Structure 1
């Protein structure tokens, strides 16, 4: 890692440059199929390429997007003009990244919980990804909330895997985005989400320290602290901002340069409002930005519907979400921006 130390620090800082965040376009083949099914478009390599090409060639989006997380297939695909997607992005000043985990599987001994797999062979794969142009990576762990979950066992094995992944990335000169996602699918209160997120982050940073991960050369991608979707008592924007910041300030060392939130199933406008509310509270020890998938892409996908004639409208929808989230990353967002052209 020593030979890459400054490069890791510089890349991590560049990913959280003022007013910029990360586009998560790393949907697995199964997930992108669900997205395309929702607009009645068959998921083929060609349609997946066409959709990613639409996003990556949107004029001006690079003002607000610092990096793009790619799925492995996408990293090795080309744009319509024959340029590799990694080169196309890099030429715009956007840093190419790669999703490296192999997905969440049932946890042995506690099959209702999940553990993320993909460490086997990761060192060799990281070398290939770096050769192809990737400069950062992502690994997602999923933590479910229920009456008897998460177990300490589940939190431990996922934190351990996240730190192993992060250490291997830094060895290869690739910035790890560490993503421990506490899911928002249950009926839990915001207070329960805060308590679980606190436990998870505590264990994750303990493992990162044990495994000698350079905190200055990584980013954290956590959930926001919110009530579960099925909870009858949903918290307001200000309460979410307060709870999330309280939790992060307790557990995330100031050495980490940035926190890029996942949207986790929030609507696009709500995710933007939550990020903005946190940044309106003034400077924090780390930059607060975004690494959104659906919350950046949903309007573009709905506008596109697989029709070439709809590409300009789809790109306009994506540009608008990128612009609004860029503003939220600096605490400059206003709901009025949703009505502006």
Structure 2
């Protein structure tokens, strides 16, 4: 009887201790949020960008990568041409009906349209929040098989403060985790990149910027299954969320930009239903409901596939606690760029393609896309791992 009472007493005491510890933890988090003068603004901005039926235009590719895109259609990589390309995107009539945020490269954040209007004002007048890529690219991790970590923490606080002053209200930091035939990201790569994402998010929030947290489990060659991609994605996201909590990042004031779960590039493509099944299961297992929006990247998918898979996510998880939406670069811009090709007479047609693609993905986010798609067809796409690019 005494032994039973002792065990019961220890259990009660343990529960009290756990409750006290939890209360202490909550008070620390509450104090951390209260200490940030931007806390309410961060939550409001994240909620706005995650508005149902809207997504993000990812136009933050580096000057070098943008140059490659321009040169592919015969346009020289100059600052004026990069400016004209961004202006075509940002001034597309009606874009703000379907796009709530635009991620910019640093150069673009400070640029002006031909008439002298700052791009931040052009986008703001359309109801589109301005964001900026703040990482400075990837660097190979010593002792790994080509795995990388993301650079850019040096002087990040000062840069974020300057970006906020310029009109940016959110930021983006991309981490790349490599998956290939027979293997996934190493523990070293996962922990290094989770730490970088968490530290960046902490700094961005302190400067008033909503951090887009982008842990991309990137597709590689091989015939590995969609189940393997889901396994590694779940492992990566779990570590990222743990580190965000360790750094007291306010989850209501972030957005997540992950990959959809797809099979290896040498495997048969998965149906939208299977992509949705494994992707939503992974999110439900790893992402807290307090995160307002999950904005999927379009890496590895054609323009039509990106839309169909996005619609399938809504059908697989109609009561998702977060907005399951998009942050697309290539899936909104590839055909737009080809249509424009640097020619003034193609300007209107290119903008029409962009808005049509944005509208299709907006409808897909609402589970209402019925087709036909503005750019039908297209196969699977291999995007090379770039050391300095944006990777959408």
- Fold similarity call, TM over 0.5: yes
Superposition pairs for residues 134-283 of structure 1, below 5 Å?
134-146=168-180, 147-187=182-222, 188-231=224-267, 233-281=268-316, 282-283=318-319
Structure 2: gaps spanning 5 or more residues: 1-34, 377-392
Superposition pairs for residues 15-30 of structure 1, below 5 Å?
15-30=49-64
Tell me, in whole angstroms, the C-alpha distance in 1 between the residues paired with 2:127 and 2:309. 27
Instruction: Count the aligned residue pairs.
Output: 339
Shift of 1:316: 0.6
**Does residue 138 of structure 2 align to residue 104 of structure 1?**
yes
Tell me, in whole angstroms, the C-alpha distance in 2 between the residues paired with 1:178 and 1:293. 16
What do residues 186-216 of structure 1 show as CA deviations (whole Å, max 9, x unaligned)?
A: 2122111111101100100000000000000
Partner of 1:49: 83
| Contact 2:58-2:328 within 8 A present in 1 as well | yes
Tell me, what secondary structure is at the counterpart of 1:198? helix
More divergent stretch after superposition (8-17 vs 84-93) = 84-93
| Contact 2:161-2:207 within 8 A present in 1 as well | yes
| Contact 2:95-2:126 within 8 A present in 1 as well | no
Tell me, in whole angstroms, the C-alpha distance in 1 between the residues paired with 2:109 and 2:370. 35
Shift of 1:339: 8.1
**Does residue 123 of structure 2 align to residue 89 of structure 1?**
yes
What do residues 225-253 of structure 1 show as CA deviations (whole Å, max 9, x unaligned)?
A: 0012222x221110000000001100000
Could you list the structure 1 runs, at least 4 aligned residues long, displaced by more than 3 angstroms after superposition. 337-340
What do residues 118-175 of structure 1 show as CA deviations (whole Å, max 9, x unaligned)?
A: 0001000001100100000000000111334410000000000000000001001110
Shift of 1:337: 4.7
Tell me, what secondary structure is at the counterpart of 2:172? strand
Structure 1: gaps spanning 5 or more residues: none
Partner of 1:286: 322
Shift of 1:265: 2.9
Tell me, in whole angstroms, the C-alpha distance in 1 between the residues paired with 2:80 and 2:138. 27
Superposition pairs for residues 322-337 of structure 1, below 5 Å?
322-337=358-373
Tell me, in whole angstroms, the C-alpha distance in 1 between the residues paired with 2:145 and 2:281. 32
**Does residue 101 of structure 2 align to residue 67 of structure 1?**
yes
Partner of 1:319: 355
Query: When the two structures are superposed, what TM-score results if normalisation uses the length of structure 2?
Result: 0.85
Tell me, in whole angstroms, the C-alpha distance in 2 between the residues paired with 1:287 and 1:339. 25
| Contact 2:304-2:373 within 8 A present in 1 as well | no
Tell me, in whole angstroms, the C-alpha distance in 1 between the residues paired with 2:373 and 2:264. 28
Q: Alignment RMSD, CA only?
A: 1.3
Tell me, in whole angstroms, the C-alpha distance in 2 between the residues paired with 1:286 and 1:242. 16
Tell me, in whole angstroms, the C-alpha distance in 1 between the residues paired with 2:353 and 2:265. 26
Partner of 1:5: 39
Tell me, in whole angstroms, the C-alpha distance in 1 between the residues paired with 2:168 and 2:145. 34
